[in-house]
Amino acid sequence: MKRIEDIEKMSPEELEQAAAEAPVPEGLAGRIESALAAESVGQPPIVIPVLARKRLAQKSAGRLLRGSIVATLAAAAVAAVLILHRPAPKDSFDDPLLAYQQVEETLQFIAQKINEVYK
């Protein structure tokens, strides 16, 4: 593989020889001929490979976007489930009578606070 500096130093003869030795892609001659023929009758040159590349790029970008949306929404759904699903705390009382007394005391405490405000 030649470097750009080497190519720039080459004479026109050397460049011509290098071009003659370089491998030519298959069907290149046909594509050039058809492009030239189309141009000569006023039709746009054949650009199918470029369009195909663009379409492929658009398709893969679309797939990537869809994948990102699904991944983001899935992550948000998992996070939402983790936030909303919390185990219930353990009851402080086993005896309903003791629990009743606690509730009664709590209501009395609230009432006492209200009473203090209106005193």
Tokens 């790029």, residue? 57
Minimum CB–partner distance for residue 59 and other proteins (Å): 17
Minimum CB–partner distance for residue 58 and other proteins (Å): 16
Q: How far apart are CA 1 and CA 60, in angstroms?
A: 32
40 with 48: CB under 8 angstroms? no
- Nearer Cβ to other proteins (43/60): 60
Q: How far apart are CA 118 and CA 110, in angstroms?
A: 13
- Nearer Cβ to other proteins (29/77): 77
Q: How far apart are CA 30 and CA 27, in angstroms?
A: 5
Q: Which of residues 79-108 bind other proteins (CB under 8 A)?
A: 79-80, 83-84, 86, 88-93, 96-97, 99-100, 102-104, 106-108
Torsion over CA: 27, 33, 35, 38 (sign): negative
- Binding-residue pattern over the window 48 to 77 for other proteins, x denoting contact by CB under 8 A: -----------------x--xx--xx-xx-
29 lies in the binding site for other proteins (CB under 8 A): no
